[in-house]
């Protein structure tokens, strides 16, 4: 279990992370979200013991995170962090031995993962000769080569095509099934929504949303009603609780403040012709994120 307890990190007077707390249980995938500069990478560095918190603590199975237990953690940083002038084998031997692994074991696991990601033929190629996608795979292998109990992934899907993204998702799911803890950040909120049970959204180093995704959505209250019918859009906008109407090509999306306003919209739609769709759905994580973080979607 990983426990982040009231962690605060200051750079002089600047507070990079403020009173952050969360817990990750074995077999759980945890999402750490936020805009650029919100404090995600700093939080990962604190988890990895690279930065010492000004306050609070990080416990890994009830023990302080440090170099005595860091071999049980896998870490993949946001940007590609590979030594490009050496071969794939040399690099993974290097990173593996830094995790106190024997050469034979590294070689065995390296062969397995290269085969898993269909890149066996690159084993003795220089890193710089690999495509960006394949470099990303090598970086991912470097994070999992030690079979970690905790996997920290900072933007693991960055720069990947849909096929390789799917492969990464499957691998992360595999790790989850094996009971490992996974904490990751991503700007692709659909992925977060699809396999995270719990999230923390950071803004300026502070958690502004936290908890289980379903609960976060419930707490958000705002709903979307998708309608297919002959409607008067101007009238629709005047119904109490409706704050936005979007005319899509195939349907009309009506945003309402809470479920208390569903009946009002429904009463009007009932009176219209050719009604083929009336579907109420919770706000997506993306909507919640944009709404709460301040409409900076393009930065995300």
Partner 1 sequence: MKKFRFLVGFGLKKRIAKKSFIISNLIIGILIIGIINLPSIISVFSDDTDEVEDINISIINQTNDNEYPLASNVIQTLNTSQENYNFMSKNSDFTDEDEFWNQEELDVLIVFNGDLKQPNVIVYALEESHRDMLLTPIQLVLYDYQDIGYANYDIKTPPVTGEDPGMSEEDRAFIDGIGSLLFLPVFFLVIMATQFLGVDIIEEKSSKAIETIIASVPAKTHFLSKIAASLSFLLIQSSVLIGFGLLAVIVSNVFASSSNIEGISLFAELANRIPNWGGLLTFSLLFMFFGTLLFLILAALLAAISTTQEDYQQFQAPLIFLLLGSYYLTIFLPILGADGLLKVFAYIPFFSMMVAPLAFVTGNISLLGIIISLLITIFTVGLVLYIIAPVYRVAILSYDHTKFFKRIKFYMKKAFSKN
CA atoms 180, 4, 209, 39: torsion sign:
negative
Q: Does 59 bind partner 1 (CB under 8 A)?
A: no
State both tokens at 4: 């982040």
Maximum Cα–Cα distance across the chain: 74
At its nearest, how many Å lie between partner 1 and the CB of residue 147?
15
Q: Does 117 bind partner 1 (CB under 8 A)?
A: no
For the window 120-149, what string marks contact with partner 1 as x by the rule CB under 8 A? ----------------------x-------
Closer residue to partner 1 in complex, CB, 3/80: 80
Among 99, 123, 228, 292, binds partner 1 (CB under 8 A): 99
Radius of gyration of the chain (CA): 23
Q: Does 75 bind partner 1 (CB under 8 A)?
A: yes
Among 6, 84, 120, 131, binds partner 1 (CB under 8 A): 84
* Residue 134 and residue 122 in contact, taking contact as beta carbons nearer than 8 Å: yes
* Residue 192 and residue 285 in contact, taking contact as beta carbons nearer than 8 Å: yes
Degrees to nearest 5, angle at CA 159 with 204 and 201: 25
Closer residue to partner 1 in complex, CB, 70/110: 70
For the window 35-54, what string marks contact with partner 1 as x by the rule CB under 8 A? ----------x--xxxxx-x
CA dist list (Å): 253 to 29, 96, 246: 31, 52, 5
Whole-number Å distance between alpha carbons of 44 and 40: 6
Closer residue to partner 1 in complex, CB, 88/209: 88
At its nearest, how many Å lie between partner 1 and the CB of residue 132?
14
Half-sphere exposure of 265 (CA within 13 A, CB side): 33
Closer residue to partner 1 in complex, CB, 22/95: 95
Q: Does 94 bind partner 1 (CB under 8 A)?
A: yes
Q: How many residues does the chain have?
A: 300
Q: Does 57 bind partner 1 (CB under 8 A)?
A: no
* Residue 129 and residue 158 in contact, taking contact as beta carbons nearer than 8 Å: no
Binding site for partner 1 (CB under 8 A): 10-12, 45, 48-52, 54, 67, 70-71, 73, 75, 77, 79-86, 94-95, 97-100, 142
């Amino acid at each position: 279990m990983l426990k982040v307890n009231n962690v605060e990190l200051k750079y002089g007077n600047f507070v990079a992370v403020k009173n952050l707390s969360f817990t990750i249980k074995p077999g759980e995938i945890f999402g750490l979200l936020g805009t650029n500069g919100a404090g995600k990478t700093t939080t990962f560095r604190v988890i990895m013991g690279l930065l010492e918190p000004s306050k609070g603590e990080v416990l890994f199975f009830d023990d302080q995170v440090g170099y005595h237990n860091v071999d049980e953690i896998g870490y993949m940083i946001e940007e590609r962090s590979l030594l490009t002038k050496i071969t794939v084998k040399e690099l993974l031997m290097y990173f593996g031995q830094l995790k106190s692994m024997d050469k034979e074991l590294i070689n065995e696991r390296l062969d397995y993962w290269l085969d898993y990601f269909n890149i066996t033929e690159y084993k003795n190629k220089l890193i710089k000769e690999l495509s960006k996608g394949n470099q990303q795979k090598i970086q991912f292998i470097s994070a999992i080569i030690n079979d970690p109990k905790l996997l920290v992934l900072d933007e693991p899907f960055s720069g990947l095509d849909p096929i390789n993204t799917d492969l990464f998702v499957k691998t992360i799911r595999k790790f989850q099934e094996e009971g490992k803890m996974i904490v990751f950040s991503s700007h692709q909120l659909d992925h977060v929504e699809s396999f995270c049970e719990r999230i923390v959204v950071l803004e300026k180093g502070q958690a502004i949303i936290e908890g289980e995704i379903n609960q976060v959505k419930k707490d958000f209250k705002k709903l979307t009603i998708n309608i297919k019918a002959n409607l008067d859009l101007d009238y629709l906008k005047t119904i109490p609780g409706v704050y936005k109407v979007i005319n899509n090509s195939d349907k009309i999306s009506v945003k309402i403040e809470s479920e208390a306003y569903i009946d009002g919209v429904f009463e009007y739609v009932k009176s219209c012709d050719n009604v083929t769709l009336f579907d109420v759905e919770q706000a997506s994580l993306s909507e919640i994120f944009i709404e709460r973080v301040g409409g900076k979607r393009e930065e995300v």
